[in-house]
């Protein structure tokens, strides 16, 4: 059963796996600002959370969730938030087996350990579990939408398949206290990396476009940039977690929640134009001086076996009804904040 969590209770310690990542770094900041809790944090890396490493309220373990002794230590805490995953699209294509181990094997073993210890598991899944949606797909609902994936030859679906199997595994563990979060394209500062500077391969779209802008290169519109996404401020996403922490157990135990912002829906092509304009305004230059995007096929960009879902629009009524949460940050606001951070960090 989800424990009662008072924000002013200093005896509470929450375990956050993947605390050094994009969402994890924002979550740590918010926990230290808004609560008296302690954090047992695990990650393979810590460069995004340097400012917290000396905080006596954080015990940080640089370790791999694949290690069974790490799983045992994490599950000993009453609240376990699992953010750890390989979650960059280019890796779904090139390293499918590793992606499946990361998104199914490790979280399933963590779920087993939480069942044994009685911990409440908050597991981060993905909006990709809705699969190969079409341009006509309407609102995606947690409990009613039917799901279909592309063929096994299309490696793109390795991540989504593993995430969905983990959800099914968690839901099938009788006696486990769990909540699943399905993020819809969170964006904000600290997302991913700049290729060739502090990471390799192709990052997610925000860092991908930001990197191209800073380098003065055209933004790559995969398959014409026609796919639509609903972008969500990472600050709203963290706010959702606090609604969850404060909610009654019967509102969130054994529930999967979409966390997204349907008001921020646009095509990737429209996102590219918006980011060009915001970047031009940050630099104080005319937008015509920023290169126009270039179109490229998915196969050419990501390799053979690339497929996409054309629209991902979240039904957010469940989060509103059960935990009183609705994302409110307009896209322009979070894009400007993200780009300003990117420019100051990498220039
Ligand atoms: N950001 C989004 O929009 C989004 C969308 C859909 C799903 N998600 C899910 O939310 C979670 C967090 O996403 P994020 O954007 O913060 O990703 P991220 O890559 O920035 O963070 C993940 C962190 O997990 C760590 N990690 C990976 N494997 C590990 C392991 N074996 N042991 C220990 N640490 C490990 C990484 O080092 C990284 O710091 C992931 O599960 C992801 O699939 C995020």
Domains annotated on the chain, with CATH: 85-270+295-346 (3.40.50.720)
Residue 94 has pLDDT above 90, yes or no: no
Nearest residue (CA) to ligand 1, atom 29: 84
The answer to whether 310 touches 128, Cβ cutoff 8 Å, is no
Encode pLDDT of 260-301 as tens digits. 999 999 999 999 999 999 999 999 999 999 999 999 999 999
The answer to whether 198 touches 275, Cβ cutoff 8 Å, is no
Pocket flag, ligand 1, residue 187 (CB < 6 Å)? no
Encode pLDDT of 210-224 as tens digits. 999 999 999 999 999
How many beta carbons lie within 10 A of that of residue 252, not counting itself? 23
Q: Is the pTM of this model over 0.95?
A: yes
User: Scanning the structure block, which residue is given the tokens 């994009």?
Assistant: 22
How far is residue 141's CA from residue 125's CA, in Å, rounded to a whole number? 15
Residue 232 alpha carbon, nearest atom of ligand 1: 3
Residue 1 has pLDDT above 90, yes or no: no
Pocket flag, ligand 1, residue 23 (CB < 6 Å)? yes
SS3 226: coil
The backbone region for 303, taken as left when phi is positive above 0, alpha when psi lies in -120 to 50, beta otherwise, is: left
How far is residue 274's CA from residue 217's CA, in Å, rounded to a whole number? 16
What share of the chain has pLDDT > 70, as a percent?
A: 100
Nearest residue (CA) to ligand 1, atom 15: 22
Q: Report the pLDDT averaged over residues 105-118.
A: 98
Question: What residues form DSSP beta bridges with 94?
Answer: none
Note the pLDDT of residue 304. Answer: 85
Pocket flag, ligand 1, residue 84 (CB < 6 Å)? yes
How far is residue 264's CA from residue 329's CA, in Å, rounded to a whole number? 9
How far is residue 309's CA from residue 137's CA, in Å, rounded to a whole number? 10
Please state whether beta strands 79-82 and 120-124 pair in parallel, antiparallel, or not at all (unpaired): parallel
Residue 190 alpha carbon, nearest atom of ligand 1: 20
Pocket flag, ligand 1, residue 185 (CB < 6 Å)? yes
Nearest-5° Cα angle at 44, 42 to 45: 100
SS3 193: coil
Encode pLDDT of 6-29 as tens digits. 999 999 999 999 999 999 999 999
Closest CA to 185 of 226, 228, 240, 244: 228
Nearest residue (CA) to ligand 1, atom 38: 21
Q: What sign does the dihedral 74-203-334-325 (CA atoms) show?
A: negative
Percent of the chain as helix, strand, coil, to the nearest 5: 45, 20, 35
Residue 173, classified by CB atoms within 10 Å of its CB into exposed (0-12), middle (13-18) or buried (19+), is middle
Tokens standing for residue 249: 């157990």
């Amino acid at each position: 059963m989800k424990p009662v969590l008072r924000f002013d209770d200093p005896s509470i310690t929450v375990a956050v796996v993947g605390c050094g990542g994009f969402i994890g770094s924002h979550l740590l900041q918010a926990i230290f600002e808004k609560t008296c809790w302690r954090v047992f944090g695990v990650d393979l890396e810590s460069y995004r959370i340097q400012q917290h490493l000396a905080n006596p309220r954080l015990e940080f373990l640089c370790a791999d969730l694949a290690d069974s002794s790490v799983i045992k230590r994490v599950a000993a805490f009453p609240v376990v938030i699992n953010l750890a995953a390989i979650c960059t699209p280019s890796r779904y294509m090139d390293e499918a087996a590793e992606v499946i181990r990361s998104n199914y094997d490790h979280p399933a073993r963590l779920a087993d350990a939480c069942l044994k210890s009685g911990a409440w598991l908050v597991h981060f899944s993905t909006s990709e579990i809705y699969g190969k949606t079409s341009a006509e797909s309407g609102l995606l609902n947690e409990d009613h939408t039917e799901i279909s994936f592309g063929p096994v030859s299309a490696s793109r679906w390795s991540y989504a398949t593993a995430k969905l199997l983990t959800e099914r595994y968690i839901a099938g563990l009788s006696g486990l206290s769990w909540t699943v979060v399905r993020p819809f394209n969170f964006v904000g500062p600290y997302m991913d990396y700049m290729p060739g500077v502090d990471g390799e391969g192709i990052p997610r779209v925000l860092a991908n476009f930001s990197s191209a802008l800073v380098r003065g290169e055209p933004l790559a519109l995969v398959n014409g940039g026609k796919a639509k996404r609903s972008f969500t401020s990472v600050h709203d996403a963290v706010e959702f977690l606090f609604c969850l922490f404060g909610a009654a157990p019967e509102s969130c135990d054994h529930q999967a929640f979409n966390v997204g912002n349907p008001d921020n829906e646009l095509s990737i092509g429209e996102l590219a134009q918006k980011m060009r304009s915001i970047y031009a305004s940050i630099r104080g230059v005319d937008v015509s001086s920023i290169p126009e995007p270039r179109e490229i096929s998915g196969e050419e960009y990501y390799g053979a076996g690339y497929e996409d879902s054309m629209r991902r629009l979240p039904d957010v009524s469940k989060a509103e009804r059960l935990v009183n949460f609705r994302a409110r940050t307009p896209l322009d606001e979070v894009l400007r904040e993200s780009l300003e951070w990117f420019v100051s960090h990498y220039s």
